[in-house]
Structure 1
Amino acid sequence: MTPKTTPAPWRSRSLILLALGLLFPSTSLHAAEQTLTLLTWEEYLSEAVIERWQAETGVRIEQIYFDSGDKRDEILAKPDHQIDVVLTELISSSRFGARGLLDPLDEKSLPGLSHLSPRWRDSCGPYSVPYLWGTLGIAYRSDRLDQAPHSWADLLKPAPHDAPHIIMMEDHEDILASPLILQQHSINTSDNDELKAAYELLLAQAPAVLTYEYVITSLRSQRYLDQADMALAYSGDQQVLNEVEGIDGEPWRYVVPAEGTLLWVDCLSVPSITPDKALAYRFLEFLNQPDIAALNAADLGVATPNRAARELLPDDIRQDPTIYPPEEVLARSQVYEPRPLEATQTRRRIISALINAHDAR
């Protein structure tokens, strides 16, 4: 894969900062003993950004990965976790915030919030800071398919005789979004009949599913490399998949189906038991610096909610429709809304039944 090119000044400045850290190690000797622990998706923070942070602060970043929102929630619910900053979204941050497990944002400690429009702030709520946004769609191997998928039906209604070739995901929210959209229902529905219909569609798809492990996690572990040709994925995942496979020509591509999609917004929150909240806020403010936010977005190939950062991005990134979808795609998109806990528990039971049925085959 040819990675997204980061403008030279960012790289040069990063190298200078790293060099300064080596020349004057005594200035960060105490900080070097510190660690900031981030609970997040795999491959979701630029290595260049990590280098910049560690060069400026001397604080090491330790990342703990989850591959579904449910697994993230299990870790965050533990009373003795050591997480300093956690990747969330509106539903989880609102729920954990109401339980006192997340702190409301101290906006005075985050002047960089001024770079974020009310649209993105509202999409994360009072307990979290907007981090990145994008769409849910289909990642596919362009060298293995006769034609590119264009509908959710291409993913959810494979031919009955097809050998397993699809990778889905275990997340109880996002896996249900695609069948609900295909069946013209709201992704926020609590209607049992609509959820049952979505489950039945996923159950019928199951014989063609290789795994419900997040596609990046699965392929990075070298499983199903020769079999997978489609996956439920997020915008930007195709870049990582091409890096994982190391094949020339960028065979993994990404499409938003014609019926519409989920518009997701990932957020960052500070758990209430974080031992060093000043450090956690320093990290959030660091990520909101326009040059840092732009560097992170460019390296990951994902959209930033930071207005000043977007202006710093190269034209080829700002004009890439897989990263910044045109308005007609956004107009067909749905966003998650807070819902009663019982409705979320119903969704979890549905996905648990689906995976149990798949594993029993």
Structure 2
Amino acid sequence: MKKLLMTFSGIALLLVLFIGLQFALTASRSQSDSGKKDTITFYNWGDYIDPEILKDFEKESGYKVNYQTFDSNEAMYTKIKQGGTNFDLAVPSDYMVAKLKDAGLLAKLDKSKLSGMSHFDKTFMNQSFDKGNEYSLPYFWGTLGILYNKKVVSEGDLKGWSSIWSEKYRHRLLLVDSARDVLGLTLLSQGKSVNDKNVADIAAAQGKLSSLMPNVKAIVGDELKLYMAQGEGDLAVTYSGEARNAMERNKDLAYTVPEDGSNLWLDNLVIPKKAEHKEAAYALMNYLSRPDVAAKNAKYIGYATPNKDAKALLPDSVKNNEGFYPKQDLLDKLQVYEKFNQYWTQKYNDAFLEFKLGKS
């Protein structure tokens, strides 16, 4: 009888231990799931948000931010499409919003959960890549323009894109290595659209572009801003964000957008369709849309904010700089790149390649 009692006691003890272990595992899973639920995975360009903003958001909202970065729209697209990581919020550029949307990779925004839409300047809303802002909200914006050394080049001589063809800039011009941008500015100089899809117009632009080669010192990529900061070029065609970076390194540099108009680029906040924490994504979108937060972010990043109420909070030296915040008459001339199909993409690439071969 005693042996039997000991056996039952042993079984009871094992049952207690088993139940305790199961409870511990369940609690552990619950805590793990709770932690996961309270974490938002934010997929953004490198150094494209003030780190203090993320810390402040975590304190205010209770969410933890898992910040991951990419270095190109294409890399971001591939990761989102593969689905290995369920990103909750991402920052694609204009044409990539359209590509992600067309591929069925974005969640349609629930406007009832967005509290900051009234803060945005209408100029940057309802763009061709996302009519009605059904899938995206603008994050930062900028232009293609001319970065120049004020000691040797006058802004008054850079009123139109055709100015860079002047003989006085022979072997002094740096060009960004981009078919769409260089063909686009050439089309603008001829009174055409950056989204022109006329074979004769493309041929005419290619002909004019070929005559620019004597002025071109180099066709370069990311290193362009460094070359300009080091004084290795007197003027360059580049993006406003890259221009600001170069200007911070060299106070003799300035940036202007020609009166013919230019490309308007927009980086945007989107929620991938497979996002697991959409409520957290909306919370961060709303936080970033607050004027005080958006202004703080713009000061840190240096790019132009599409948030009109945030812009009002910026220093006069920033918001009155027409190179980065053009007046409305010039803003009205800015054009967003439309997403081209393979045929027109190849047409532009071929024209630019032939131009580049003239440099070799």
TM-score (norm 2): 0.72
Q: What is the aligned partner in structure 2 of residue 154 from structure 1?
A: 163
Q: Structure 1 residues 178 and 337 mapped into 2: Cα distance closer, same or farther (>3 Å)?
A: closer
**Which residue identity does 2:234 align to in structure 1?**
D
What do the CA deviations read for 1:106-162 (whole angstroms, capped 9, x no partner)? 32332222322554331243221112233321111223x24335131233x264994
Question: Greater share of helix residues, 1 or 2?
Answer: 2
How far apart, in 1, do the equivalents of 2:54 and 2:357 lie? 41
CA contact (8 A) 1:35 1:62 kept: no
Corresponding residue of 2:113: 109
Give the aligned residue type for 2:301.
Answer: L
**What's the offset of the Cα at 1:240?**
1.3
Residue in 2 that maps onto 1:45: 49
Counterpart position of 2:5: none
C-alpha contact 1:88 1:128 (8 A) present in aligned 2: no
Cα distance change of structure 1 residues 177 and 337 upon mapping to structure 2, 3 Å threshold? closer
Q: What is the aligned-residue RMSD (CA, Å)?
A: 3.6
Following superposition of structure 1 onto structure 2, how do residues 135-174 of structure 1 map, counting pairs within 5 Å? 135-143=143-151, 145-148=152-155, 149-150=157-158, 151-155=160-164, 157=165, 159=167, 162-163=170-171, 165-170=173-178, 172-174=179-181
Q: Which moved more, 1:117-126 or 1:222-231?
A: 222-231
Aligned to 2:103: 99
Trace 1:331-350 onto structure 2 (pairs within 5 A).
Answer: 331=332, 333-336=333-336, 338=338, 341-342=341-342, 344-347=344-347, 349-350=349-350
Structure-to-structure mapping, 1:1-361, within 5 angstroms? 30=35, 36-40=41-45, 44-53=48-57, 57-66=63-72, 71=74, 75=78, 78-80=81-83, 82=85, 84-123=88-127, 124-125=130-131, 126-143=134-151, 145-148=152-155, 149-150=157-158, 151-155=160-164, 157=165, 159=167, 162-163=170-171, 165-170=173-178, 172-206=179-213, 208-214=216-222, 217-219=223-225, 225-243=230-248, 245=249, 247=250, 250-331=251-332, 333-336=333-336, 338=338, 341-342=341-342, 344-347=344-347, 349-350=349-350, 353-354=353-354, 357=357, 361=360
Question: In 1, distance between residues paired with 2:270 and 2:277?
Answer: 13
CA 1:47 to 1:116, structure 2 compared with 1: closer, same or farther past 3 Å?
same
Distance 1:182 1:129, change over 3 A: same
Q: Which moved more, 1:53-62 or 1:321-330?
A: 53-62
Aligned in 2, Cα 1:58/1:270: closer, same or farther, shift over 3 Å? closer
CA separation in 1, counterparts of 2:355 and 2:65? 40
CA distance in 2 between counterparts of 1:274 and 1:351 reads 40
In 1, Cα distance between the equivalents of 2:345 and 2:116? 36
| Unmatched 5+ stretches in structure 1 | 1-28
Distance 1:176 1:320 in 2: 27
Quote how far apart the aligned CAs of 1:302 are. Answer: 3.2
Question: 1:270 aligns to what SS in structure 2?
Answer: coil
- Do the aligned residues in 1 keep the contact of 2:41 with 2:65 (CA within 8 Å)? yes
Which residue type is aligned with residue 102 of structure 2? A
Larger radius of gyration: 2
Structure 1 residues 281, 130: CA separation in 2 closer, same or farther (over 3 Å shift)?
same
Q: Distance in 2 between matches of 1:164 and 1:78?
A: 43
Aligned length: 317
> Counterparts of 2:166 and 2:75 in 1: how far apart (Å)?
31
**How far is the alpha carbon of 1:356 from its aligned partner?**
6.4
Whichever residue aligns with residue 93 of structure 1, its letter is V
> Residue 84 and residue 232 in structure 1: after superposition, are their counterparts in 2 closer, same or farther (change >3 A)?
farther
Identity %: 23
List, as ranges, runs of 4+ consecutive aligned residues in structure 1 with deviation greater than 6 Å. none
- 1:21 is aligned to none
| 1:321/1:121 CA distance change after superposition, 3 Å | same
